[in-house]
Structure 1
Amino acid sequence: MDTEKCTVLLTAIDQGSLSGAAEALGYTPSGVSRLVASLEAELGLPLLVRGKGGVTPTPECEALRPRFAELASLGRACRDEAAAVRGLEAGTLTVGSAYRPLYRALASTIAAFSAEHPGIQVRIEHANSSTLAAGMAQRAIDFSLMSRREIDCRWTPLSHDAMVAVLPPDHPLAKADAFPIERLLDEPFVELYPGEDCDNSRTLATAGIRPRAAYAVHDTSAAFALVEAGLGIALMNDIYARTAEAEVAVVPLAPARIVEIGIAAPPGRPSPALAAFEAFAVPRLQREAR
């Protein structure tokens, strides 16, 4: 099976359209359509539902999607290794980060790496740790800064981060040593990242509580503003709470909830491009985390 066809199919799904895949990969839309149709004919299965709004994967495609991702990854690795045999450096890496406060260290690392390895392209993907973990399991993410998840990967720990309560400055527990997590049941709650499998939702699930959300937001700046205005209490990683410019109080949880943040990479032997990036990036990011 042609691994490039798998790459084209997965890109079309990610972009939501054949024209988007064509633009991302440097094909014409008709070329993308022919490649996908050829793959469908080869397998004897419909793989995309085509409509005015774009394309979506069929159930048959979803069932085979992990295999398509694996084949696309193997194709990239083979091309990278062939380039290495020829004495060239080439490849494309997708690097994920679940934590915006780590972007500066990650961006400077990528810039320095790209200056030394101009033949290797690096893309950045932002998502929560669970989404990045799923992407890595599907071979769509090559290297990720995230909190520990239950996937098969090579893991390098960087730091331990506490989950904290963010309170209005005049809250009775604003100067307390700890905030009892069950108090969230009695307070207006500012839910951050509603509906997502993230460090917040996992902390609440571990405690066995489900606070009633007075507000739901997808941005820490919005959460800080609501808390500062006295509209509720938020739960978040300390790595985010430390960036607050609003006038809020940050109090550790009781019982303490600690999240391990680190670097995840796919199991097994890395491609030459990923091996070069890991050798360069891991020591730099470890120093930044100290």
Structure 2
Amino acid sequence: MSLKKYITYIKVVETGSLTKAAEILNYTQPSISQMISSLEEEYGFSLLVRQKNGVKPTENGLKVLKAMREIEKGYGKLSETVDEINGLETGNIRIGAYISIATNWMPKILSEFKQLYPFIEIQLYEGNASELERWLDEDKIDFAIGSSYHNKGYFRFLSEDPIVAVMNSQHELAQSDVIDIRTLESVEYILPYSDSLFEVHDLIKKAGIQPRVAYRIRGDETIIAMVRNNLGISLLPQLLLSHSPLDNITVKPLSSYTSRKVGILTNTTKHAQTPSIHKMIHFIEEWVEKHHHQERFN
């Protein structure tokens, strides 16, 4: 059956290894090689380039990969629809999310969702904005929970996440009621790398200022640790601080309110989603609405 060969090739490309793909799919490596060779013979061109540290798709292999993934998705949607008609709730969902969202929202969301749909398998990937965008393009994830900035596909708004100033509790600005962003020109500032927290970089650019950058850091938790040790102040989304220990850290609003819009990003329309993905997205939308409604009235 060609579908089995397609799924095999997709998994080989994702893992970059015939051995790893064989382990995941519960095949032997020779059988994996045979299926790939069968496809190459059928198509009349090579699909993989063998390297010392694994394999990667050829240029032609990349061209057919997207079509194979569409076939795999279509078959998955068909299978889930049949199961749904027969009273079964099955499926496989791959979700990408910012670390702040994966840490703060997803444990509760997944726990409640699993109680309703115990047979739906879920894979969660943590990443920054650039990684989520790439994973969507490569079809490594079905949808992402991130910000609307640079979104190329479909965006479904969930909530606003304010950008705040964070500093050590002994910092000279810790007694201020609000922080003017122009202050960043006169105090040591910890700047996130340009492949993440786009809204922070955009805020600084629009303000037309030159921050006194002391450190450039990749990793949200590392930035918080640097702030805790009084190595500078930083600008971070408030959600990122929700479950981080805030000992020795003071959080202040900016004098001019700024936020990032958080929502669900997909490369496909609602009608192209499998039943399980549609259920999960709908569940997340309801959960966030309920969560923020309770926050507003508590």
- Is 1:283 the counterpart of 2:282? The answer is no
Q: Is the 8 A contact 1:188 1:213 kept in 2?
A: yes
AA in 1 matched with 2:195: E
What residue ranges of structure 2 are gaps of 5+ in the alignment? 294-298
Distance 2:33 2:16 in 1: 13
- Is 1:268 the counterpart of 2:280? The answer is no
User: Aligned pair in 2 of structure 1 residues 246, 78: CA closer, same or farther (>3 Å)?
Assistant: same
Q: Is the 8 A contact 2:46 2:60 kept in 1?
A: yes
Q: Is the 8 A contact 1:48 1:61 kept in 2?
A: yes
Q: Which residue number corresponds to residue 113 of structure 1?
A: 113
Q: Is the 8 A contact 1:69 1:140 kept in 2?
A: no
Distance 1:2 1:27 in 2: 16
- The two structures, once aligned, show a CA RMSD in angstroms of 3.0
AA in 2 matched with 1:147: S
Query: 1:93 Cα shift?
Result: 0.8
1:65-76 maps to which residues of 2 (within 5 A)?
Answer: 65-76=65-76
Query: 1:185 Cα shift?
Result: 4.4
Distance 2:203 2:4 in 1: 41
- Is 1:30 the counterpart of 2:33? The answer is no
Query: 1:160 Cα shift?
Result: 0.9
Distance 2:254 2:152 in 1: 27
Distance 1:218 1:133 in 2: 17
User: Aligned pair in 2 of structure 1 residues 169, 75: CA closer, same or farther (>3 Å)?
Assistant: same
Q: Which residue number corresponds to residue 296 of structure 2?
A: none
Query: 1:98 Cα shift?
Result: 1.1
What residue ranges of structure 1 are gaps of 5+ in the alignment? none
Q: Which residue number corresponds to residue 250 of structure 2?
A: 249
User: Aligned pair in 2 of structure 1 residues 12, 186: CA closer, same or farther (>3 Å)?
Assistant: farther
Q: Is the 8 A contact 1:143 1:264 kept in 2?
A: yes
Query: 1:125 Cα shift?
Result: 1.4
Q: Which residue number corresponds to residue 40 of structure 1?
A: 40
Query: 1:260 Cα shift?
Result: 1.0
SS at match of 1:46: coil
User: Aligned pair in 2 of structure 1 residues 135, 3: CA closer, same or farther (>3 Å)?
Assistant: farther
SS at match of 2:270: coil
- Is 1:237 the counterpart of 2:240? The answer is no
Q: Which residue number corresponds to residue 164 of structure 1?
A: 164
Deviates more, 1:213-222 or 1:230-239: 213-222
Query: 1:137 Cα shift?
Result: 4.6
Q: Is the 8 A contact 1:224 1:246 kept in 2?
A: no
Q: Is the 8 A contact 1:225 1:246 kept in 2?
A: no
Distance 2:69 2:207 in 1: 36
Q: Which residue number corresponds to residue 55 of structure 2?
A: 55
Distance 1:168 1:220 in 2: 16
1:61-210 maps to which residues of 2 (within 5 A)?
Answer: 61-101=61-101, 103-149=103-149, 150-153=151-154, 155=156, 157-192=157-192, 194-199=193-198, 200-207=200-207
Q: Which residue number corresponds to residue 225 of structure 1?
A: 225
Query: 1:237 Cα shift?
Result: 0.8
SS at match of 1:5: helix
Distance 1:134 1:57 in 2: 17
Query: 1:191 Cα shift?
Result: 3.0
Deviations 1:203-234 (A, max 9, x none): 44554566565334333332222223222222
Deviations 1:34-57 (A, max 9, x none): 333333333333333222312223
Query: 1:92 Cα shift?
Result: 0.8
Identity %, equivalent residues: 26
SS at match of 1:179: coil
Query: 1:18 Cα shift?
Result: 1.7
TM-score by length of 2: 0.80
User: Aligned pair in 2 of structure 1 residues 161, 280: CA closer, same or farther (>3 Å)?
Assistant: closer
Distance 1:48 1:254 in 2: 55
Distance 2:55 2:204 in 1: 37
TM-score by length of 1: 0.82
User: Aligned pair in 2 of structure 1 residues 25, 203: CA closer, same or farther (>3 Å)?
Assistant: farther
Distance 1:257 1:206 in 2: 12
AA in 2 matched with 1:198: L
Q: Is the 8 A contact 1:97 1:126 kept in 2?
A: yes
